[in-house]
């Protein structure tokens, strides 16, 4: 009951399809923002949305230790509990925990083939099958190749999953002519959804740079105090 | 024994098992001339390192119990507490940290920050202990102190900054470059006792300049004068850097990193200098006690030897001449012949013999002043007791003592073993509040309880060795609990008329789950439906029902009971009658409240070479474990998980065989979770079988 209740109140519902998905199977989505604006918080909420639906979420962090990622989840989840005045949130949390898997890599140690190897191992042993993969801290620089993104897309298709990743932008950089951040401009065609977080007055706006269906027309923002999405 | 406070250091050496802290302590004692020969931990000479005072520790090459020892360096008096490294002995580590002013965090330059270092570090943070780091084993193959410094920053969140640079690593490790003084230090002589100070080797000069700049930049955050000098590119002395770093260390904002190899006698003396220069003296640290006369209000303690005395007993040891009690004096002075009060028991204690300890040797002293650590003879007390001047009713902050999660039946071999076992159990439960022993009324067996399999194993082993008590042990048992999941009402009348005066009592109310805490009793009786004098009997009745739940006879926790109505009889109501009524009411409501079994869940962290990651995850999965996450660190992978304790018996053997002995794990209590229905049924079946066997 509690789960259903939370899902009904979830602002992300408005941007999802009838099955509750924003991205199609095998799809890629990017969350773009400057440092400290709320990329990880948004990613965690996307994951929690998936967990509440009963899906498994794999959170990959490049740089932060497992403990810190766990803390993010606990923090966002507790904030949701406070916002919706939910008692017994701990019980629900314990119920969701087995559906989440955190994997952390050093940035240098991360590669798509390595991730593929890990995921195959988890699947072979029937330990974990992710329906959603989140990658936080993927570096986008001169060395990033189109083939890397293509490989990620193939991986997403192989595991019948969809992948969200964060892209860090910089204040001084101008977007390309389509309004796409330059870090991902040349791969934009591979991405299904691109959202950008921008501080605006007292809110953090969630601007949809690319996307179709429900998400294209939405107007969401993050509450800067709790980093929770609000309508 | 009178010395200025700023010349005293009470330090601990905290570390992961096998990172070499016992060897380091051994070397410190050698250089401070407290011992005259160096023994290795797993000594070929069969003597063992001096700090390992227990035979068992000597054999295993690990330090289990902390021993306080005293030494002198550069006109400073240093008390060293050698702390245990295994998580099963957490209470010992925590108790030691309570009495320390500063600590040396020892890390292995090959293994780096391991899961146990994280636990130890968290404990240090909890007790706000300022620390300096020592990266040991720089002579080992694969040594990489720079990587370990980075791990200190990334994994432990320390603002770690190197104070030194190694001169050569692995087999070529010769010495260190001191970045504050910009000198190279070599360690000559058979035991590295002769320091040779030279210019920095040319090939390291540029790198050293760079590292020094980083150091000064960090240090200047804590001292404006240094920041100014740095910006104006003035000459900066080693003293300026050290004085700024000291401020940073005391405020726990920076962790200076030293390095070397204790085993190869390199880098220990500069570390001792650093302990004296950077770690706090007792007057730098504020300590508080609880005023028992004033609702336990925290009271800041002074550090003067003239104040009324407050001291904490932090460690007990059974010696040849009776109980030895290690104490830290927080304020005032303890002198031979003084009379103090043990504020826990209220008993008077007369101070007899006072000593200070060097591992197994001791030195008689006349008094112990504020800020000092020493030991008392012939005082009967428990670990954690506070001794105070009769004028004060203070207690040092009580430490959080977790409930045991595992138990084991022990059976003595013969009568002699029985007597010795009782002595041992009495001592252990005084030493360690997480270790408990009792006799099961039903089976008449002696049961010991503790925080993990190894925890109990070590005590059983100690019984054999130190007390000559041969015992056999039963299967370890998990401390399951019962709790309710729903609110349920009760309205129970206890009525008995068997000639003479009868018994009558009625209680009405409800029970419901309580998310925090074990038991809450609320009295909402109005108009005297149950006379006031019987309310406490009702509470007693409910409380006694908690001892054994109706589901599987496990203790019941997490329950709130409210009584809001009832009835009494002028003649037949009594305390007994209301206790019985409450017990009946509990029985009536308990099953309606849908009771469930909860089991202890352990946080299990496994460190394994990456190639075994898959099989390790498999072992966790097979044990009903939830993998929280995996941390990929190149050749090593750390798997964090939550596993029911019931599934963890014998895990070390399984882990060894599935990783060719290359993985290690730590385990600590995390929380209680509901047992899945299938397991509950299994437990019930097992219990029924046991009952059958018992009846047969």
Residue B401 lies in a domain: no
Residue B641 lies in a domain: yes
Is the Cβ of B154 closer than 8 Å to some Cβ of chain A?
yes
Residues contacting residue A58 through CB under 8 Å, at least 6 positions apart: A100, A101, A102, A103, A119, A128, A130, A132, A133, A134, A161
Q: Is A3 left (phi over 0), alpha (psi -120 to 50) or beta?
A: alpha
Strand partners of residue B472: B411
Nearest in space to B313 (alpha carbons), one of B90, B127, B95: B95
For tokens 């930049």, what's the residue?
B217
Q: In angstroms, what CA-CA distances link B76 with B6, B7, B192?
A: 8, 5, 21
Closest partner residue to A125 (CB to CB) among B614, B630, B631 is: B614
The CATH number covering residue B544 comes to 3.30.230.10
Residue in chain B closest to A106 (alpha carbons) equals B633
Q: Is the pLDDT reported for residue B309 higher than 70? A: yes
- CB count within 10 Å of CB B211 equals 19
Query: Chain A residues contacting B, CB < 8 Å?
Result: 59, 63, 65-67, 69-70, 87-88, 90, 94, 97-98, 101-106, 109-110, 114, 118, 121-122, 124-128
Residues B619 and B669 in one domain: yes
Residue B208 lies in a domain: no
The H or E element that residue B648 is part of is none
Q: How many CB pairs under 8 A join A and B?
A: 64
* DSSP annotation of B58: H
Nearest in space to B673 (alpha carbons), one of A100, A127, A91: A91
Q: Is the pLDDT reported for residue B639 higher than 80? A: yes
Among the residue ranges A19-28, B148-157, B317-326, B679-688, the one predicted with the least confidence is B317-326
Residue B53: the pLDDT is 47
Domains of chain A: 2-230 (3.40.50.300)
Which chain A positions have a beta carbon within 8 Å of B634's beta carbon?
106, 109
Residue B452: the pLDDT is 78
> CB distance A125–B627 less than 8 Å?
no
Which of B396, B424, B456 terminates a domain? The answer is B396
Residue in chain B closest to A63 (alpha carbons) equals B154
* DSSP annotation of B556: B
Closest partner residue to B614 (CB to CB) among A66, A90, A121 is: A121
The CATH number covering residue B255 comes to 3.40.50.300
Residues B335 and B429 in one domain: no
Helix (H, G, I), strand (E, B) or coil at B367: strand
For tokens 């190149």, what's the residue?
B634
Over residues A178-199, the mean pLDDT reads 85
Give per-residue burial for B582-617: e unless 16+ CB within 10 Å, then b.
bbbbbebbbeebebbbbbbbbbbbbbbebebbbbbb
Residues B464 and B517 in one domain: no
The CATH number covering residue B465 comes to 3.30.70.870
User: Cα(B358)–Cα(B369) distance, rounded to whole angstroms?
Assistant: 18
Let me know: does B608 contact B508? Beta carbons within 8 Å: no
Rg from Cα positions in chain A: 17
Residues B158 and B64 in one domain: yes
User: Cα(B66)–Cα(B95) distance, rounded to whole angstroms?
Assistant: 9
Over residues B397-405, the mean pLDDT reads 65
Averaging pLDDT over each range in A105-109, A176-180, B159-163, which range is the top one?
B159-163
Let me know: does B659 contact B616? Beta carbons within 8 Å: yes
Strands (DSSP E) contained in B97-137 are 102-108, 131-136
> CB distance B628–A122 less than 8 Å?
no
| B656, two tokens | 């060894």
Helix (H, G, I), strand (E, B) or coil at B598: strand
CA atoms A30, A34, A37, A38: torsion sign:
positive
> CB distance A66–B638 less than 8 Å?
yes
Number of domains into which chain B is organized: 5
Strand partners of residue B331: B310
Residue B498: the pLDDT is 73
Instruction: Specify the higher pLDDT residue, B120 or B74.
Output: B74
Give the minimum alpha-carbon distance from A67 to chain B in angstroms, rounded to a whole number: 9
Residue B586: the pLDDT is 94
Which chain A positions have a beta carbon within 8 Å of B633's beta carbon?
106, 109
> CB distance B631–A127 less than 8 Å?
no
Nearest in space to B241 (alpha carbons), one of B180, B162, B164, B185: B180
Give the minimum alpha-carbon distance from A32 to chain B in angstroms, rounded to a whole number: 24
> CB distance A104–B154 less than 8 Å?
no
* DSSP secondary structure of B505-530: EEEEEEEEE-SSSSEEEEE---TTSS
Residue B231: the pLDDT is 87
Residue B693 CB-density burial (10 A; 0-12 exposed, 13-18 middle, 19+ buried): exposed
> CB distance B613–A118 less than 8 Å?
yes
Residue A9: the pLDDT is 66
User: Cα(A105)–Cα(B587) distance, rounded to whole angstroms?
Assistant: 53
Residue B685 lies in a domain: no
Nearest in space to A48 (alpha carbons), one of A24, A84, A86, A74: A74
Residues B26 and B143 in one domain: yes
> CB distance B633–A94 less than 8 Å?
no
Q: Is the pLDDT reported for residue A101 higher than 90? A: yes
Which chain B positions have a beta carbon within 8 Å of A109's beta carbon?
632-634
Let me know: does B642 contact B623? Beta carbons within 8 Å: no
| A22, two tokens | 């924003």
**Interval B455-503: pLDDT, tens:** 888 888 888 888 889 999 988 888 899 999 899 999 999 988 776 778 8
Which of B557, B573, B593 terminates a domain? The answer is B593
User: Cα(B316)–Cα(B381) distance, rounded to whole angstroms?
Assistant: 9
Rg from Cα positions in chain B: 29
Q: Is the pLDDT reported for residue B590 higher than 70? A: yes
- Write down the ipTM of this complex: 0.84
Q: Is the pLDDT reported for residue B88 higher than 70? A: no
Which of B577, B593, B609 terminates a domain? The answer is B593
Q: In angstroms, what CA-CA distances link A122 with A70, A119, A224, B85, B289?
A: 20, 5, 36, 33, 52
Residues B588 and B606 in one domain: no
- CB count within 10 Å of CB B671 equals 12
Instruction: State what percent of residues in chain B have pLDDT above 90.
Output: 30
Which chain B positions have a beta carbon within 8 Å of A66's beta carbon?
628-631, 638, 640
Let me know: does B563 contact B638? Beta carbons within 8 Å: no
- CB count within 10 Å of CB B552 equals 17
**Interval A50-77: pLDDT, tens:** 898 889 999 999 988 888 898 889 888 8
For tokens 């013969």, what's the residue?
B414
Which chain B positions have a beta carbon within 8 Å of A136's beta carbon?
none
Residues B559 and B603 in one domain: no
Residues B465 and B502 in one domain: no
| A197, two tokens | 């977080």
Closest partner residue to B628 (CB to CB) among A70, A90, A105 is: A70
- The model's confidence at residue B400, banded by pLDDT at 50, 70 and 90, is low
Range of B663's domain? 599-678
Q: Please report, to the nearest 10 degrees, the dihedral formed by the alpha carbons of residues A70, A73, A78, A81 taken in order.
A: -140
Residue B83: the pLDDT is 66
Q: Which of residues 635-694 of B touch A (CB under 8 A)?
A: 638, 640, 642, 673
Residue B648 CB-density burial (10 A; 0-12 exposed, 13-18 middle, 19+ buried): buried
Query: Is 0.90 topped by the overall pTM?
Result: no
Q: In angstroms, what CA-CA distances link A123 with A134, B225, B269, B614, B658?
A: 17, 59, 53, 10, 19
Q: Is the pLDDT reported for residue B2 higher than 70? A: no
- The model's confidence at residue B509, banded by pLDDT at 50, 70 and 90, is very high
The CATH number covering residue B648 comes to 3.30.70.240
Residues B167 and B184 in one domain: yes
Over residues B676-683, the mean pLDDT reads 88
Over residues B217-229, the mean pLDDT reads 90
Residues B84 and B171 in one domain: yes
Q: How many CA atoms lie within 13 A of B563 on its CB side?
A: 33
CA B329 to chain centre: 21
Strand partners of residue B275: none
> CB distance B617–A67 less than 8 Å?
no
* DSSP secondary structure of A89-131: HHHHHHHHGGGEEEEEE-GGG--HHHHHHHHHHHHHTTS---S
Residue B623: the pLDDT is 92
Nearest in space to B665 (alpha carbons), one of B679, B678, B650, B676: B650
Over residues A26-33, the mean pLDDT reads 90
Quickly list H helices, B452-574: 453-467, 535-545
User: Cα(B332)–Cα(B680) distance, rounded to whole angstroms?
Assistant: 56
Residues B175 and B39 in one domain: yes
Residue in chain A closest to B617 (alpha carbons) equals A127
* DSSP secondary structure of B159-227: -EEESEEEES-GGG--EEEETTTTEEEEEESTTS-EEEEEPPPHHHHHHHHHHHHHHHHHHGGG-HHHH
Closest partner residue to B634 (CB to CB) among A94, A106, A126 is: A106
**Interval A3-14: pLDDT, tens:** 677 766 666 766
Over residues B414-434, the mean pLDDT reads 86
User: Cα(B321)–Cα(A226) distance, rounded to whole angstroms?
Assistant: 61
Residues contacting residue B689 through CB under 8 Å, at least 6 positions apart: none
Over residues B257-284, the mean pLDDT reads 91
Residue B1: the pLDDT is 46
Q: What mean pLDDT is reported for chain B?
A: 84
- The model's confidence at residue B345, banded by pLDDT at 50, 70 and 90, is confident
Sheet holding B373-377, edge to edge: B348-350, B339-342, B386-388, B310-319, B322-331, B373-377, B354-358, B361-365
Give the minimum alpha-carbon distance from B154 to chain A in angstroms, rounded to a whole number: 8
Residue B594: the pLDDT is 92
Q: Which of A44, A63, A67 has the most B C-beta neighbours within 10 Å, making it the best mutation to test the interface with B? A: A67
Residues B176 and B142 in one domain: yes
User: Cα(B431)–Cα(B406) distance, rounded to whole angstroms?
Assistant: 18
Nearest in space to A206 (alpha carbons), one of A81, A59, A42, A20: A42
Q: Is the pLDDT reported for residue B451 higher than 90? A: no
Residue A8: the pLDDT is 65
Instruction: Specify the higher pLDDT residue, B485 or B441.
Output: B485
- CB count within 10 Å of CB A11 equals 17
Strand partners of residue B406: B450, B478
Residue B94: the pLDDT is 64
Q: Is the pLDDT reported for residue B34 higher than 80? A: no
Q: Is B255 left (phi over 0), alpha (psi -120 to 50) or beta?
A: beta
């Amino acid at each position: 009951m509690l789960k259903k209740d939370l899902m009904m109140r979830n602002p992300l519902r408005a941007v999802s399809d009838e099955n509750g998905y924003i991205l199609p199977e095998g799809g890629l989505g990017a969350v773009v923002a400057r440092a400290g604006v709320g990329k990880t918080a948004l990613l965690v909420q996307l994951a929690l949305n998936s967990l509440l639906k009963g899906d498994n979420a794999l959170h990959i962090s490049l740089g932060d230790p497992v403990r810190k990622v766990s803390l993010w989840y606990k923090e966002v989840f507790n904030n949701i509990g406070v916002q919706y005045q939910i008692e017994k949130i701990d019980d629900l949390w314990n119920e969701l925990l087995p559906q989440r898997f955190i994997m952390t890599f050093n940035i240098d140690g991360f590669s798509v083939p390595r991730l593929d190897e890990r995921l195959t191992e988890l699947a072979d042993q029937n330990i974990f099958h992710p329906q959603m993969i989140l990658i936080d801290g993927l570096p986008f620089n001169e060395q990033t190749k189109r083939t890397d993104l293509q490989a990620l897309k193939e991986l997403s298709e192989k595991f019948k999953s969809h992948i969200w990743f964060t892209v860090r932008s910089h204040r001084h950089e101008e977007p390309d002519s389509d309004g796409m951040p330059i870090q991902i401009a040349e791969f934009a065609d591979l991405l299904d959804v691109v959202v950008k977080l921008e501080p605006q007055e007292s809110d953090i706006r969630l601007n949809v740079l690319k996307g179709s269906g429900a998400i294209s027309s939405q107007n969401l923002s993050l509450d800067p105090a709790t980093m929770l999405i609000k309508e | 024994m009178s010395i200025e406070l700023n010349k005293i250091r009470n330090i601990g050496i905290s570390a992961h098992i096998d990172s070499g802290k016992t060897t380091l302590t051994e070397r410190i004692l050698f250089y401070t001339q407290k011992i005259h020969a160096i023994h290795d931990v797993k000594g070929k000479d069969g003597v063992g390192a001096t700090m390992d005072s227990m035979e068992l520790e000597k054999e295993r090459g690990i330090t289990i119990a902390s021993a306080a020892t005293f030494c002198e360096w550069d006109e400073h008096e240093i008390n060293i507490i050698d702390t245990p490294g295994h998580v099963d002995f957490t209470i010992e580590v925590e108790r030691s940290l309570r009495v320390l002013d500063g600590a040396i965090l020892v890390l292995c330059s090959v293994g780096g920050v391991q899961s146990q270092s994280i636990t130890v570090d968290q404990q240090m943070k909890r007790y706000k202990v300022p620390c300096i780091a020592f990266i040991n084993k720089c002579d080992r193959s694969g040594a990489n102190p720079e990587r370990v410094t980075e791990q200190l920053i990334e994994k432990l969140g320390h603002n770690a900054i190197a104070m030194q640079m190694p001169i050569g690593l692995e087999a070529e490790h010769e010495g260190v470059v001191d970045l504050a003084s910009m000198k190279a230090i070599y360690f000559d002589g058979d035991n590295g006792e002769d320091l040779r100070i030279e210019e920095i080797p040319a090939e390291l000069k540029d790198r050293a300049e760079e590292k020094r700049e980083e150091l000064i930049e960090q240090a200047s955050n804590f001292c404006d004068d240094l920041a100014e000098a740095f910006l104006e590119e003035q000459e900066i002395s080693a003293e300026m850097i050290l004085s700024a770093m000291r401020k940073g260390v005391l405020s726990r904002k920076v962790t200076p990193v030293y390095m070397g190899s204790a085993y190869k006698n390199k880098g220990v003396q500069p570390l001792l200098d650093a302990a004296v220069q950077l770690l706090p003296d007792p007057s730098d640290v504020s300590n508080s006690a609880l005023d028992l006369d004033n609702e336990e209000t925290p009271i800041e303690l002074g550090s003067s030897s003239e104040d009324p005395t407050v001291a904490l007993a932090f460690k007990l040891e059974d010696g040849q001449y009776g109980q030895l009690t290690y104490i830290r004096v927080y304020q005032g002075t303890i002198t031979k012949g003084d009379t103090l009060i043990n504020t826990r028991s209220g008993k008077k204690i007369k101070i007899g013999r006072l000593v200070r300890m060097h591992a197994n040797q001791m030195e008689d002293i006349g008094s112990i002043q504020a800020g000092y650590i020493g030991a008392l003879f012939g005082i009967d007390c428990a670990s954690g007791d506070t001794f105070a001047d009769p004028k004060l009713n203070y207690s040092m902050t009580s430490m959080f003592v977790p409930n045991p999660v595992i138990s084991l039946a022990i059976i003595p071999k013969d009568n002699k073993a029985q007597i010795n076992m009782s002595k041992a159990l009495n001592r252990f439960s005084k030493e360690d509040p997480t270790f408990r022993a009792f006799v099961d009324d039903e089976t008449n067996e002696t049961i010991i309880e503790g925080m993990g399999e190894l925890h109990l194993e070590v005590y059983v082993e100690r019984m054999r060795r130190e007390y000559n008590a041969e015992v056999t042990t039963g299967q370890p048992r998990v401390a399951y609990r019962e709790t309710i999941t729903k609110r349920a009402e009760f309205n129970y009348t206890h009525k008995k008329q068997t000639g003479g005066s009868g018994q009558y009592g009625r209680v009405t109310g409800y029970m419901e789950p309580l998310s925090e805490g074990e038991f809450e009793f609320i009295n909402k009786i109005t108009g005297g439906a149950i006379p006031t004098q019987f309310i406490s009997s009702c509470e007693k009745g409910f409380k006694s029902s908690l001892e054994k739940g109706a589901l599987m006879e496990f203790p019941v926790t997490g329950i709130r009971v409210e009584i809001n109505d009832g009835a009494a009889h002028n003649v037949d109501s009594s305390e007994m009658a209301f206790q019985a009524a409450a017990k009946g009411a509990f029985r009536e409501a308990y099953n309606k409240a849908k009771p469930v079994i909860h089991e202890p869940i352990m946080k299990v962290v496994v460190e394994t070479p990456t190639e075994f990651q898959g099989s390790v995850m498999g072992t966790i999965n097979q044990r009903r474990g939830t993998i929280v996450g995996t941390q990929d660190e190149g050749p090593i992978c750390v798997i964090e998980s939550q596993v029911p304790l019931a599934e963890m018996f014998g895990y070390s053997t399984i882990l060894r065989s599935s990783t060719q002995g290359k993985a290690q794990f730590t385990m600590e209590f995390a929380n209680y979770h509901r047992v899945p229905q299938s397991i509950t049924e299994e437990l019930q079946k097992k219990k029924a079988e046991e009952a059958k066997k018992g009846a047969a």
